[in-house]
Each structure stands twice: as C-alpha cells, then as structure tokens.
Structure 1
C-alpha cells in the first residue's frame, strides 16, 4: 500500500482549486461596464496574443498594453485595482481548502502552477492557498518541462498530480511513469474540451469536483493496483 510520508500531492490552481473561468467572466463584465464591448474585445485580444507568445496567462501585461489605447479613461486605474483586489478567496471551489487539509494528512501538499511571476503568486497568496500548503508553491512557465526541478525541490517515492488539463497530465505521466498517479478534475473549459479528445495515457483517477478528493484514502491514489511503494 502507499505509505504516508512517501507521497507528494501536486495540485494545480486555475480551474482545479480556483474557479478561473468565473474570474475571467467577472473581468469581462467589468470591462463591458467600464469600457464597452469593443474595448473589452480589444483587452481579450491582447491577452490571447500574449498568452500565445509567453505560454501563460498575463492579465497585468495585457492591461499594460490595453492602456495605450485608452489612457484618458479614468476607469483604467479602477480596473488595475479590480484585478489586484479581486476577492480571490471567494473564487475557490467548494471543498478546495478541505481537500488540501485532508491530503495533507496523507502526504505533502504542493501547489504546482503555470503562470507569471507577479500576478499568479499574488492570486495564490490572496486566495489562502499559499497558507494552506505552508508556502510549498512552485510556479513555472511550463510545468510539464520542469519535472526534474520539481522532484529536486520535493523528493518522494510517489507523486499524485491533480489538474484540470488532461493533456498535461498525460505528458507528466509519460515522463514519470508509475511513480505518478494522475487525477483529472473535470472543472473548467479544458474539461469540456477533453470530452472530444483521445488521451494517451488516460488519467488514473477522474473526479467531477475537487471536493470529492477529501473523501479519498491514500490507497485510492494508486495508479496500478499491483504497484507497491518500498517500505
């Protein structure tokens, strides 16, 4: 059986612990109210261009470029405050913190997120997730390319990766093999896209909501029933 203390739980943030689709929807509503539809479309166009180029979401970088087209609009400063002062703790999925507390009794919990180096840690701090994992936070541009630094930071006999992006889970599974159990949380827009995709390998565990994991025992996270960790 899996052994307490041998396992590191790697948990994604956006649309895994935190409802990032709701956050984006709230930004859209704020842009519509303060700038109008055309400017809202321009902000998201800048955002998508940056994400394609950088490989991660950059809300503040998009705002910096968005500013150049409407510097006379006093709502710009209000939008800046809106992003920084957003009630991130209210955006956590039901059961997210309870799940972290429970998994912390089974092994070591670590936040493993993609993102920028300013806004993403701010979001993790303000949501309460940073405190919930006692500061064990890793943020990379592409976390699937950082398996070796991750293992050096948090060595373990076995890893459990919890994420809403099944293709990323599959990529990590191909890297770590039976040392990794992949848990697909079917939340957010990536989950909807996955329904029409062929995944290889498929996730080891699939749940509809992050809160379900608060009821899981350590043995439920075995990728292979025949796999036994060393004592």
Structure 2
C-alpha cells in the first residue's frame, strides 16, 4: 500500500513564535514612548479591534490610536518598532528544525489567522516563510476555511499543531480521524485554566514545539486513531 500523503499545518503565534515575548517587548516600548496611560489605551483599542475583526491587528490598533492623537510624533517610532521587529530572535528553540523534520515525510504549511500586512511580514522576517517554502495560509478565522485548505493542500491526513484548544477542537470536529491535533503547551492560551477546563484534550499534547523532533510520522497518525 502507498504511504498516505500528509500535510502538517503549523500555527505561528505561541506555536512556532513566542508571541507573548513580542507583546511584552511592545508593552515596554509603548511605556517608553507614550507612557503607561498611552500603553493601556493602545491595548484597550487592540482588544476592542480584535473583538470586532476576529483576529489581532497591531497596525490597525495603532491607526486607531492615531485618530485620538493625530499630532503625536511618537507614533512613527511605534510603527517603525513593529515593522522592523527582529522576529527571527523570537522563534521558539528548534522551531525551524521541527519544520524541516516534518518536511522529510510531509508537506509543512503555515496556517494562521491575522491581518494581510503585519502577519505576513512577521512570518517572512522570522524566517518561517522560507522554512515552509512559501506554503502560507492566513485567514480571518482559519477553522472556518478548512474546505479551502483541502483544495489548496489536498492530503490523506492532516496534522494540526496549534496552541489554542478551541481551534484544535473545531478542526477535529470537521476532519475527525483525518487529522491529528497536536497541542504545544506554550503561551498564555495554552496555560489558561478556564480554557483547559472548557475544551477536550488534543490527540497529542507536548510541552514544547521541539518535542516533535522525537515523534515520528507513524506515532502522529496513530494518535488520531487512538482518539
């Protein structure tokens, strides 16, 4: 029998890239440039915009902040900080090695939510775009676009690596045994007790993304069937 074709779908933020660290660096920079009050205003706008759009939009939040303070010269410094941020320095240890390892027996693809400017730039400047050879999908709600994922990257079996149990649960409900859900317990979503108590466990849980280097294709596929 022929080997099954496999596509491994990697989330970005807090899966391959330490987004909590990026947010902390941005908070510090905001404090330095516009003060604690301004920093809190920015994050309030950020959360309001995420609620409206369904995804995070760092630059969009900055644009809205600008509407309130159109003459603030610090805004140019803030935009430069975001656009030139050294994302490659925030990759989790062994993240790119995991992608290369997956490429030995599957087709690795980035599957992310986000805006159409900052999220692609983050993926590019981090080196992840090159690591997956340009196989990148960015949606507003990726869990609602799985039919499109299938058309673009057809496979017998999928592996989804994501730090959000909500996403893993939704994708498992759609693909069933055709997908192995992998939950790296990294970042604030992955350690939130309310989240952990709300959604069922993934097919496979790991402490860090680098643990996938010790798990072969057969074990990943079997994990879906065992569930």
TM range (shorter): over 0.9
Per-residue CA distance 1:91-133 (angstroms, 9 max, x = gap): 1101100000001101000000000111100100010000000
Which residue number corresponds to residue 112 of structure 2? 113
Larger relative contact order (CA 8 Å, sep ≥ 6): 1
Per-residue CA distance 1:67-97 (angstroms, 9 max, x = gap): 1233333221111100000001001101100
Which residue number corresponds to residue 54 of structure 1? 53
Structure 1 stretches of at least 4 aligned residues deviating more than 3 Å after TM superposition: 224-227
Which residue number corresponds to residue 158 of structure 2? 159
Could you say if the C-alpha distance between residues 36 and 112 of structure 1 is closer, same or farther in structure 2, counting changes exceeding 3 Å?
Answer: same
SS of 1:197's partner is helix
SS of 2:198's partner is coil
Larger fraction in helix: 2
TM-score (norm 1): 0.93
State which drifts further: 145-154 or 212-221: 212-221
Q: Unaligned regions of 5+ residues in structure 1, if any?
A: none
Q: 1:184·1:206 contact (CA, 8 Å) conserved in 2?
A: yes
CA deviation after TM superposition for structure 1 residue 42, in Å: 0.4
Number of equivalences: 225
State which drifts further: 190-199 or 33-42: 190-199
Q: 2:21·2:90 contact (CA, 8 Å) conserved in 1?
A: yes
CA deviation after TM superposition for structure 1 residue 214, in Å: 1.5
SS of 1:43's partner is helix
Per-residue CA distance 1:28-64 (angstroms, 9 max, x = gap): 0000011111100000010000000000000000001
Which residue number corresponds to residue 198 of structure 1? 198
SS of 1:106's partner is coil
Could you say if the C-alpha distance between residues 216 and 26 of structure 1 is closer, same or farther in structure 2, counting changes exceeding 3 Å?
Answer: same
- CA distance in structure 2 between the aligned counterparts of 1:60 and 1:218, rounded to whole angstroms: 39
CA deviation after TM superposition for structure 1 residue 220, in Å: 1.5
Q: Unaligned regions of 5+ residues in structure 2, if any?
A: none
TM-score (norm 2): 0.95
State which drifts further: 67-76 or 44-53: 67-76
- CA distance in structure 2 between the aligned counterparts of 1:43 and 1:153, rounded to whole angstroms: 37
